[in-house]
Chains A and B, each alone.
Chain A
Amino acid sequence: MQRWSRFNIASIVLGFAFLYLPIVLLVIFSFNESKLVTVWAGFSTKWYVQLFHNQALLDAAWVTVRVGLISATVATVLGTLAALAMTRYTRFRGRMLFSGMIYAPLVMPEVITGLSMLLLFVAIGFDRGFWTLTLAHITFTMCFVAVVVQSRLLSFDRSIEEAAMDLGATPVATFLQVTLPVIAPAVFSGWVLAFTLSLDDLVISSFTSGPGATTLPMRIYSQVRLGVTPEINAVCTILIGIVAIGVLIASVVSRRREIQRVKDEQAAFAH
């Protein structure tokens, strides 16, 4: 038996408190009766009700979801193609430069990414709005997809593609029937990552969006500048809930799959 020393208990409590205390406070105060964020005045769900009458906030949420869906999908296609190019064609000229350029946005300060895109859109006279926002999100989420898919492709057994071609599948058929289904989980997690990043983003969005294309993080930020209301807490609680459910489902599914795989393998070798 392991003994729990006081030190261990203290570090765990402090660690979790550090991570979750702010979130817990936010959730609690979203159910606060009072308009004052820091004073508890009894339980109420009125801020949630009010939330659904706040048209500006709902519009912002809708913009965010649309930008997220479009940009995540396009970024997934582009990121997967980039990952394929980098793992498959290891000897083309300028490969180092190419892969470096794909990864640069990962470490580039968002302010710089946002500013540079703003300058570009202004320079080419592209009116800022929904589409500039979406383009900017595609650009910065694509590299995350490329990284996720590339790590899957590195452990990919190329001989199954050769087997497919050997059996008469053209390169395109091989990609669609063999490569893509096998790397699909990685492509999907790339998509989820891109979608989440797009939902969260404030800095790049602020630079690249225009009138009529305000995202939820931007709306929340601008409201907070006028003073924190419990309504914001309610929005955030809903967001936390959605994210938590997503994470929960993903981990339950992968856990189940793992258990099933182990069972299958045991069954196979029992023969």
Chain B
Amino acid sequence: MKSLGSIRRSFAPWADPTSIPFIAVKNVTKKFGDFVAVDDLSLNIYPREFFALLGASGCGKSTLLRMLAGFEQPTSGEIVLDGQSLAGIPPYKRPVNMMFQSYALFPHMTVENNIAFGLKQDGMPKADIAERVDQMLKLVKLDKFAKRKPHQLSGGQRQRVALARSLAKRPKVLLLDEPLGALDKKLREETQFELMDLQQELGLTFVVVTHDQEEAMTMADRIAVMAHGKVVQVATPPEIYEAPNSRFVADFIGDVNIFDGTVSAVGNGTIEIATETGFTVRVASTEPPAVGAKAGFAVRPEKIRVGRDQPACAPLNAAQGEIWDIGYLGDMTVFHVKLKDGKVIKASSLNAVRAVEDPLGYDQEVWISFDENAGVVLKD
């Protein structure tokens, strides 16, 4: 697995202008009556990529997946898979398979017949089917359950059968619709890593739809954050988290503190924003907005320091307040600090040592501060 890790690190076909996308979604729009589910959406997904479509329910992510599978036809636009247009090709002729949110196992068939179903449709010889089914059962560790019916399995086992069934035909692309949604938390976390390993091992392209940002962040090479039928940002998990391109993405992924203000100075790769909260932020910015422009500043809670003493950078990137709430989570502690103007911000600190002498308490006067590269400028 070590070697896979190093491949992983260098895996970035989207950054290479010469690489050819495996799935190209070109200006696809899907309307249901007056409702626009997917709005002029374009996307490229590369071979062997683990791609996540992330968004709240109703953002169009499932509709896009169903168009890839062939259950819905685009109202306009085109989807190209491996150089071939999918327009008008019915689901049963597409080289993609899907794992359904409800698993959609055939209730009247045993586990092995569920897995063999797709192979039988292709007219594969019986001996080959038996061999492939066996192989798939081993892959998902269900060899002992081959003769059972779906209702004789637990939720986690059903999920594995659904996975094995969708992988049995060795599709070029596996589509996964909320694959882990029905599992409990612990099982979900285990399965996330299993799915990643499986995808690496089989060298397939995975497109997963999820509303769970943690799931997307853990598994995907790239995430497309969707809202109202459009893609807001497509980027790797670290980019999405550390460099959100909009207020929506910053707010949607993880916790964030946003300060609104006006740009007061630009220069030397940094800009200064006079925030409405009363202090001035100096932040690194490669494409600075003009002086006088409205801008927002977003900073994640874990990048904010909380302390009793005035930091050296004050008055830049620092503000005074009092501790309003403390949430102890074990691995870290979350502070809610009420600044002078009444705005409450979130800051979290890792509990790296077991016992802190004289910990910060309620109503204490504190300083919050952060580095120049701790946050990002939001132009919208």
Residues of A within 8 A of B (CB): 157, 159-160, 162-170, 173, 177-178, 181-182, 261, 264-265, 267-269, 271
Chain B residues whose CB sits within 8 angstroms of the CB of A166 once the complex forms: 69-71, 91-92, 96-98, 166
Q: Are the C-beta atoms of A169 and B121 separated by less than 8 Å?
A: yes
Bound-state CA distance A157–B105 (Å) is: 10
> Which of B70, B105, B121, B152 is in CB contact (< 8 Å) with A160?
B105
Q: Are the CB atoms of A159 and B117 closer together than 8 Å? A: no
| Most A C-beta atoms less than 10 A away, residue of B90, B105, B152, B169 | B152
Tell me whether A181 and B108 are in contact in the complex, defined as CB-CB below 8 angstroms, given that A165-B90, A168-B169 are known contacts.
Answer: yes
- Please encode chain B, from 82 to 95, with 1 for each CB lying within 8 Å of some chain A CB and 0 for all others: 00000000111100
The answer to whether B92 and A170 have CB atoms under 8 Å apart is yes
User: A265-B151, A267-B152 are known contacts. Are A162 and B104 too (CB-CB below 8 A)?
Assistant: yes
Give the residue of A168, A170, A269 whose beta carbon is less than 8 angstroms from that of B154. A269
Asked if B338 is an interface residue, CB under 8 A from chain A, the answer is: no
- Assuming the A-B contacts A167-B117, A268-B157, A271-B154, are A178 and B100 also in contact, with contact meaning beta carbons closer than 8 angstroms in the complex? no
B107 touches A160 (CB 8 A): yes
By beta carbon, the residue of chain A nearest B158 is A268
Contact B118 A167 (CB under 8 A): yes
Q: Is B282 an interface residue (CB 8 A)?
A: no
Question: B132 in the interface, Cβ–Cβ < 8 Å?
Answer: no
Between-chain CB contacts (< 8 Å), 14 pairs: A159-B100, A159-B104, A162-B69, A162-B71, A164-B106, A166-B96, A167-B92, A167-B117, A167-B165, A167-B166, A182-B108, A267-B152, A268-B152, A268-B154
**Residues on B facing A (Cβ under 8 Å):** 69-71, 90-93, 96-98, 100-102, 104-108, 117-118, 121-122, 149, 151-154, 157, 165-166, 169
| B121 contact set on A, CB distance < 8 A | 167-169, 173
CA gap between A173 and B92 in the complex, in Å:
11
Check A165–B152 contact: CB distance below 8 A.
no
Contacts of A159 on B, CB cut-off 8 Å?
Answer: 100-102, 104
| The one of B97, B101, B151 that contacts A167, using a Cβ cutoff of 8 Å | B97
Contacts known (A162-B71, A268-B154, A271-B154); A168 close to B122, Cβ less than 8 A: yes
Known contacts A168-B121, A169-B117; decide if A163 and B154 are in contact (CB<8 Å): no
- In the complex, A165 Cα to B149 Cα: how many Å? 20
Indicate if the CB atoms of B107 and A164 lie closer than 8 Å. Answer: no
Q: Contacts A157-B104, A169-B117, A264-B152: A162 and B91 contacting too (C-beta < 8 A)? A: yes
Given A168-B169, A169-B92, the answer on whether A163 and B104 have CB atoms closer than 8 Å is yes
Minimum C-beta distance from A186 to chain B (A): 13
Q: How far does the alpha carbon of A177 sit from the alpha carbon of B116 in the complex, in Å?
A: 13
Closest-by-CB residue of A relative to B154 is: A268
A268, B102: Cβ atoms closer than 8 Å:
no
Known pairs A163-B98, A167-B169, A169-B121; A268 contacts B151 (CB<8 A): yes
Kindly identify which residue among B93, B102, B122 contacts A157, using a CB–CB cutoff of 8 Å.
B102
Contact A165–B154 (Cβ < 8 Å): no
Q: Which chain B residues lie closer than 8 Å to A170 at the CB level?
A: 92
Contacts of A268 in B (CB 8 A): 151-154, 157
CA distance A170 to B107 in the complex (A): 19
Q: Known contacts A165-B92, A168-B92, A168-B121; is A261 also within 8 Å of B151 by CB?
A: yes
Q: Are A162 and B152 in contact (CB under 8 A)?
A: no
Q: Which of A178, A261, A269 has the most CB of B within 10 A?
A: A178
Q: In angstroms, how far is the closest chain B Cβ from the Cβ of A7?
A: 44
In the bound complex, residues from chain B placing their C-beta under 8 Å from that of A271 are 154, 157
Shortest B263–chain A CB gap in Å is 51
User: Hey, which chain A residues are within 8 Å of B96, CB to CB?
Assistant: 166
Q: Which residues of B contact A168 (CB under 8 A)?
A: 92-93, 118, 121-122, 169
Ranked 10 nearest A-B pairs via Cβ: A167-B118, A168-B121, A163-B104, A159-B104, A264-B152, A165-B91, A181-B108, A160-B104, A165-B92, A166-B98
- Distance from A142 Cβ to chain B, minimum over Cβ atoms (Å): 26
Determine how close the nearest CB of chain A comes to the CB of B250; give it in whole angstroms: 35
Which of these, B100, B149, B153, B154, contacts A162 with CB under 8 Å?
B100
Closest residue on chain A to residue B116 by CB atoms: A167
Q: Considering the chains assembled together, what is the distance between the CA atoms of A265 and B101 in angstroms?
A: 20
Q: Could you tell me the distance between the alpha carbons of A268 and B153 in the complex, rounded to whole angstroms?
A: 5
Q: Closest Cβ of chain B: how far from A45's Cβ, in Å?
A: 46
What residue of chain B has the Cβ atom nearest to residue A161's Cβ? B104
Minimum CB–CB distance from B101 to chain A (whole Å) comes to 8
Q: How far is the CA of A177 from the CA of B71 in the complex (A)?
A: 19
**A164 vs B92: C-alpha distance in the bound complex, in angstroms?**
8
Shortest CB distance A168–B (Å): 4
Closest Cβ–Cβ distance, residue A88 to chain B (whole Å): 14
A157 to B106, CA, bound (A): 10
CA of A177 to CA of B118, assembled, Å: 12
A60 to B304, CA, bound (A): 93
